[in-house]
Structure 1
Amino acid sequence: MNQIFIFILLIGFISQRVYSQRKFNTTAYALSRPCLWSSCNVTGYSIGNPAYILDCCALQLPLNYAQPNQTIPISMSRLSLNQTNQSQNTIVMLSGEPVSKWGTNGLNQFSITNTAHDVSIQIESYEATNPGRVCLFAVSYETLSTDRFLQMYPTVVQASVMDGVFGPLTSSDSRAPLLTNVATIQFQSYCRLQIKCNQYFSAKESPVDVLKTILNQILRSMFLDWVTDAGRYFDRTIVPAVIYCLNRCNANDVTVLKFFFQNTAAITAAVLLVILFSSVLSYNIVQSEIWLAMNETEIDETTYDDWRDSTIMR
């Protein structure tokens, strides 16, 4: 049996959403709005394999599930074999970052409950014209929205798999850099005591200085990838900020940054509409319902100072 992969891209979520409307008839809504698949109108993107077809669909979903008169476009892309088959199984993939929050006060318009409604409509709309078994695969932050989706809509999919599960009661994005910093220092201290690991570290440099050197090398390659890959458009927006914070701009960086600005000035969101995952949600925006763990309060200036002083952020 052939497998079809559906990538649900939550590009439209950076808009005002009313926080939580638990009950909504997604089946009726989905059946009245079937997904109309067409060629993906994205410049310079190819799957590189003639045996497969890549097409796209954009559904208009409620901006406010309590008053669904206004809508917002949510995009999906589909990868399938280039052959006719009336009975096909489908794997729906949620690749990360369901909702968003910005700043110390946050934006309460966003919720994972709205994401669960969206996913249900997308899957049911797809099933209306594509019979067969549908399985859901979620990774990272999307395991949180998948868990809520399965609680609210337990019969929409036949099976689900979650990998890299996020624990909202014990973890929070607000303190992630601090936790990462502690783990990094612990690893470096341990590594210096191991012969096979220590040979890659200079005895004359502290763990912090070694990490800075590694980051410089990694970031140089990363920036070049961002500049040359059209799919990393949103990622590129943080390049100047990172360069400034690291205070490491040299002649090579200037060349790369010039290329970056010259070649991205004319790129618009319309060019990258449907099949490219919006990594800006991951890199520039912190998540809402996983922003604070249990018994945590909002961040303050002390937390910001800790971030600035943490090794991994420097």
Structure 2
Amino acid sequence: MYRLVILHLLICLFIKQNNARIIPQDTSFNKGAYASAHQCNWLPCNAVGYPSSIFGYSVDCCTLQVPLNYAQQNQTINISMTRLTPNVSATVIKNTLFLLNGGPGDSGWSLFYTTPQLIPSSYGITIILPDHRGTGLSTLLSCDDNGSQNVTASCITYLTSKFGVTGLNQFSITSAAHDLSIQIQSYKASSPSLSRISIYGVSYGTFWLERFLLIYPNLVQSAAMDGLYHPLLSSDSRTNIGVAPISYEFLKYCEQQVECGQYFPVDQPPFIMLKNILQQMDLNNQMCVSNNLTEFNLTSEILRYLLYTSMVTADTYFVRTIIPAVIFRLNRCNADDVSILKYFFRVSLANLNPVPDPNNPPGFLFSKALQMNIILSETYLALNESYVNNSVILRWYNATVFAPQKPLQYNSLYLQWPKYPLDQYRFQISTYSPLLMLNGGLDAATITYQSANLASITTPNRTFYEIPLAGHVTSTIAAVGYTCPLQLILSWLFPLVFPANWKDPSCIRNLPTSIDFVGETEAVQQISMALFNISQPFGPNN
């Protein structure tokens, strides 16, 4: 309780100290009237290589022109949204779900193939995937006329030449919230028979949703967040401070489990063994890497990032189970280990660097330029920070064994980037109710303890569930058979559509509370075959 009180006091102090640099935003532009006058004209999507129907849904798109700057409506940009309409009776299609993607920088199209599998067309829910301004089929934020996402100092020159500093400043969270209000109201105006519109944000999409609900609390009937970005505590400069305890906790599950822990000496549990391996790699004396795995050009940064991507999201629920065996085999490094590790790195590194889509611009699925603009302007610095030097960033980075790549990528451009000024909505939390929030218990992207804090300061307006052992964005564990989080979300958003028992949070008690690291279950055996070419991660004879 004492720590919670101190945290609340620090938050209040932070908000007070930052009021001086918050710029009130002009919101006089009438978005509702604009939306009514600019209703959606649904047409085939201009996304090369994507089908016009998928998993029982028909697909079309709506592109609207909106002001680049809502305070000065002399220039417009495009904002796009993709509609997935279920091929069921027209009398059933009365409910619509707007799904806000993460990043920042991800377009709605990166959810195109996964969403209709998680939410079958038989449910009768129309799904809308908005493209955040700067991504997808919306006006793209890129580094050249071909859509490049190679964000360097020359990219800044290109962006400011194309949009001007003031124009670039409009690719912000608040502007995206205004865009979303127009998209929703335009959609309503063109579909008057709708019974319910709900909204669901994932990852950064929860922050986008938070901003939207602050400004427009009356446009949707219900809302849910999954993978919570804390409006007061989350900070991209301190990502690895949050990742460190999650990576330690994850590996602790192996250490404390007899079946997995037996492979590690008492004085070298998985976390310590991996830390030693990373340090050896930095000194170029990790024998397994130096003598047997040179073809992969492995570095400590690559290994950290590979392991991070293997456990960070909920949709890698079973992939992460092989991590302790990777550590064990790198340390022991006998002939079998070398063969298995070569197979693992060959497969995993190929998945880590997917082939770009040749049919659409590089920023179609993800705009690195937009990500830089939003992070450097609004979400990079934490409580009372004005700047974090490279040595501090690297110290935080080296404190963890799993980590995102390129720890200095934001610092390298922070001082040069023409950051947009914060507005009056920054460091504010919506009072919208009712709102459902979920977070994974092993979420290394939006850290669990921050989510618990957000829940504590928003009660009773919000309902919060922590999903045990889940990673980032809990609904995706439905893909491996654990439907509880998704059922809680859908029944919250559309209570008249789904069975009453879907609303019962007691289903959380039926979710796993331990992790199979050794291949006792068929699911882990399949992952081990895919990544190691053997059915048991540690092997039958170890």
**Smaller-chain TM-score range?**
0.5 to 0.7
- Structure 1 position 278 matched with structure 2 position 366: yes
- SS of the residue 1:166 aligns to: coil
Q: 1:54 to 1:312 in 2, by over 3 A?
A: same
* Cα deviations by residue, 1:133-177 (Å, 9 ceiling, x for unpaired): 211111222222222222222221122222222212222111102
Distance in 2 (alpha carbons) for counterparts of 1:155 and 1:286: 26
State the structure with bigger RCO (CA 8 A, min sep 6), 1 or 2: 1
- Structure 1 position 168 matched with structure 2 position 225: no
Deviation at 1:49, TM superposition (A): 4.2
Aligned with 2:172 (options 94, 97, 111): 111
- The one-letter amino acid paired with 2:87 is N
Q: Is the deviation greater in 211-220 or in 286-295? A: 211-220
Q: Note the residue ranges of structure 2 that are not aligned, 5 or more in a row.
A: 1-22, 106-133, 135-150, 157-164, 279-299, 311-341, 406-542
Deviation at 1:283, TM superposition (A): 7.7
Larger Rg belongs to: 2
- The answer to whether the 8 Å contact 2:100/2:208 transfers is no
Distance in 1 (alpha carbons) for counterparts of 2:357 and 2:225: 38
- The answer to whether the 8 Å contact 1:62/1:72 transfers is yes
**TM-score between the two structures when normalised by the length of structure 1:** 0.65
Q: 1:72 to 1:202 in 2, by over 3 A?
A: farther
Distance in 2 (alpha carbons) for counterparts of 1:200 and 1:116: 51
Distance in 1 (alpha carbons) for counterparts of 2:276 and 2:244: 14
* Cα deviations by residue, 1:234-286 (Å, 9 ceiling, x for unpaired): xxxxxxxxxxxxxx9xx959x969x97xx75954419x85xxx4264798776
- The one-letter amino acid paired with 1:134 is I
* Cα deviations by residue, 1:113-140 (Å, 9 ceiling, x for unpaired): 2122111001001111112121111122
- The answer to whether the 8 Å contact 2:237/2:393 transfers is no
Distance in 2 (alpha carbons) for counterparts of 1:297 and 1:77: 39
Q: Note the residue ranges of structure 1 that are not aligned, 5 or more in a row.
A: 1-17, 221-247
Q: Which residue does the alignment assign to 2:184?
A: 123
CA-based RMSD: 4.3
1:240-279 equivalence runs, <5 A: 264=356, 266-269=358-361, 277-278=365-366
Q: 1:57 to 1:153 in 2, by over 3 A?
A: same
Q: 1:171 to 1:196 in 2, by over 3 A?
A: farther
Q: Which residue does the alignment assign to 2:38?
A: 33
- The one-letter amino acid paired with 2:382 is A
The percentage of counterpart residues that share the same residue type is: 37
Q: 1:60 to 1:295 in 2, by over 3 A?
A: same
Distance in 2 (alpha carbons) for counterparts of 1:19 and 1:109: 14
- SS of the residue 1:181 aligns to: helix
Distance in 1 (alpha carbons) for counterparts of 2:369 and 2:262: 38
* Cα deviations by residue, 1:56-85 (Å, 9 ceiling, x for unpaired): 122222110001121111221111123562
**TM-score between the two structures when normalised by the length of structure 2:** 0.40
Aligned with 2:386 (options 288, 297, 302): 297
Deviation at 1:180, TM superposition (A): 0.8
- SS of the residue 1:138 aligns to: strand
- SS of the residue 1:302 aligns to: helix
Whichever structure has more helix as a proportion of its residues is 2
- SS of the residue 1:114 aligns to: helix
Query: How many equivalent residue pairs?
Result: 260
- The one-letter amino acid paired with 2:27 is R
* Cα deviations by residue, 1:2-60 (Å, 9 ceiling, x for unpaired): xxxxxxxxxxxxxxxx9943343101111121111111232332376463201112222
- Structure 1 position 183 matched with structure 2 position 246: yes
- SS of the residue 1:90 aligns to: strand
Q: 1:108 to 1:199 in 2, by over 3 A?
A: farther
- The answer to whether the 8 Å contact 2:104/2:370 transfers is no
- Structure 1 position 95 matched with structure 2 position 101: yes
Q: Which residue does the alignment assign to 2:202?
A: 139
- The one-letter amino acid paired with 2:29 is F
Q: 1:284 to 1:202 in 2, by over 3 A?
A: farther
